[in-house]
Amino acid sequence: MDLNRFTPFRPYLPEPRFLWPEGKRCAVMLCFDVDGETTALSEDLELKNRVTTMSQCAYGPRVGVPRLLGLLDHLEVPATFFIPTWIVENHPRMAEAVAAAGHEIGAHGHLHEKLATLSPEEEEAVLVKSLGIFEAQLGRKPIGYRAPWFEINPGTTDLLVKYGFSYNASMMNDDAPFQHENGLVEIPGQWMLEDWEQFAFNADPAWGFIPEDCDKVFRLWWREFEAMRDYGCCFVLTLHPWLSGRPSRVQLLERLVSGIMETDDAWIATGSQIADWVRSYPEVRREIDFDAKGAKA
Ligand SMILES: [Zn+2]
């Protein structure tokens, strides 16, 4: 890899964090966390009797996912769906449709368990259970993992290696992928590129905030995309179909991804494609240089 062939857009910019395939300036990972009813059930199993709250969550796998699959098919872009296996069991047609469309399916707990509440043994049991359900229902074993609430425990990355995972997409300490000492690839995310903070709302139990205007959210995400592109980062967008499957938000995503595609220099890839690239070409990652100075304009 020729690390010197990249010319930054702006003279003060450091060398890019990463070089991406085919000379692309950045990578884009579109993630759909299909939490559905587990959003409520992982808070409190008694919420199963809160029919309207549960129905709002179920809107994701029932209505949001098919609509989002239609958009992804129209745009011909791949995505990564992290699905709790309670959702796979209770919405089997939805999970099959995601798999049949060729998108990647990653693990995301069984009932969207908060890992911090689990002992190491319990955490391993949940992972083994969910892998068994993926195998039984879809005949496949995920190699990517996104922790519920993005929050992992100290032993989680070793557990993922033990069960043959290629990557974790749960940490927030960087904006380009890296490898853990145990070889697991990390694809870090961030809360700014999440739809919960923008769109989530439920009256009781009280979740989220006042839903934001899609135009504001477009600006927020587009400006971060443009800047991440300048720095050669990996833009990891995390959407929940019960939020982002609502009509105006599907159109927001269409506008965002269409704009990204029009730049013609972003690599839109699944988590496993990004992890394979990182593992194949570890020399393309640049560590942050504390002594780096921006060029004078
Ligand atoms: Zn989730």
143-179 pLDDT, tens digit per residue, is: 999 999 999 999 999 999 999 999 999 999 999 999 9
Query: What's this model's pTM, rounded to 2 decimal places?
Result: 0.94
Per-residue pLDDT tens digits for 221-233: 999 999 999 989 9
CA distance linking residue 293 with residue 80, whole number of Å: 37
For residue 274, how far is its CA from the centre of ligand 1 (angstroms)? 21
66, 91 contact by CB (below 8 A): no
The pLDDT value recorded for residue 254 is: 98
Question: What percentage of residues in the chain have a pLDDT greater than 90?
Answer: 85
Q: Which is it for strands 178-179 and 185-186: parallel, antiparallel or unpaired? A: antiparallel
Cβ–Cβ under 8 Å, residues 277 and 270: no
State yes or no: pLDDT of 205 exceeds 50.
Answer: yes
Ligand 1 centre to CA of 38 (Å) is 8
Please identify which residue in the block is written with the tokens 């689990």. Answer: 118
Measure Cα distances from 180 to 15, 138, 167, 269, 292 in Å: 22, 29, 10, 21, 24
Distance 255 CA to ligand 1 centre (A): 24
Output the CA–CA distances (angstroms, integers) from residue 217 to 115, 119, 196, 221, in the order listed. Answer: 29, 38, 11, 6
Q: Residue 239: pLDDT above 80? A: yes
- Our CA dihedral for 283, 287, 289, 294, rounded to 10 degrees, sits at 80
Ligand 1 centre to CA of 100 (Å) is 22
Query: Measured in angstroms, how far is the CA atom of residue 82 from the centroid of ligand 1?
Result: 8
Tell me the three-class secondary structure of 119-169, residue by residue. CHHHHHHHHHHHHHHHHHHHCCCCCEECCHHHCCCCCHHHHHHHCCCCEEC
Q: Cα angle at 109 between 133 and 193, to 5 degrees?
A: 130
Tell me how far the alpha carbon of residue 200 lies from the centroid of ligand 1, in angstroms: 13
Confidence category of residue 283, pLDDT binned at 50, 70, 90: confident
Query: Residue 281: its pLDDT value, please?
Result: 86
Instruction: Determine the distance separating the centroid of ligand 1 and the alpha carbon of 195, expressed in angstroms.
Output: 11
Q: How far, in Å, CA of 127 to CA of 155, rounded?
A: 13
pLDDT confidence tier of residue 284, bands split at 50, 70 and 90: confident
Mean pLDDT computed over 18-28:
91
Whether residue 262 has pLDDT greater than 80: yes
Those residues whose C-beta lies under 8 Å from the C-beta of residue 70, and which sit 6 or more positions away, are: none
Convert the pLDDT of each residue in 65-76 to its tens digit.
Answer: 999 999 999 999
| Ligand 1 centroid distance, CA of 139 (Å) | 22
- Give the pLDDT of residue 200: 96
Cα 117 to ligand 1 centroid, rounded to whole Å: 15
Query: What's the pLDDT band for 255 if we cut at 50, 70, 90?
Result: very high
Q: Ligand 1 centre from 34 Cα, in Å? A: 7
Cα 69 to middle of ligand 1, angstroms = 18
Q: How close is the Cα of 70 to the center of ligand 1, in Å?
A: 22
User: Which pLDDT value is given to residue 8?
Assistant: 57
Gap from CA of 146 to ligand 1 centroid (Å): 8
CATH for 21-284 is 3.20.20.370
Residue 16: the pLDDT is: 74
Q: How far is the CA of 53 from the centre of ligand 1 (A)?
A: 16
Separation of 9 CA from ligand 1 center, angstroms? 35
Distance from residue 68's CA to the centre of ligand 1 (Å):
17
How far is the centre of ligand 1, averaged over its atoms, from the C-alpha of 149 (Å)? 6
Task: Judge residue 117's burial from the number of C-beta atoms within 10 Å of its C-beta, 0-12 exposed, 13-18 middle, 19 or more buried.
Answer: exposed
Per-residue pLDDT at 285: 79
pLDDT at 14: 67
The CA distance from 218 to 189, in Å, is 18
**Token code pair at residue 221:** 């995400």
From the CA of 76, how far away is ligand 1's center (Å)? 25
- On the question of pLDDT at 4 being above 50, the answer is no
Distance CA 183, CA 76 (A): 31
Task: Tell me 232's DSSP state.
Answer: T
> Considering only CA atoms, which of 274, 272, 268 is closest in space to residue 143?
272
Q: What separation in Å is there between the alpha carbon of 236 and the centre of ligand 1?
A: 14
Task: Give residue 18's pLDDT.
Answer: 80
Instruction: Give yes or no for residue 295 having a pLDDT over 90.
Output: no
The ranges assigned to domains in the chain are: 21-284
Other beta carbons within 10 angstroms of residue 145's beta carbon come to 26
Distance CA 76, CA 72 (A): 6
The SS3 call for residue 47 is helix
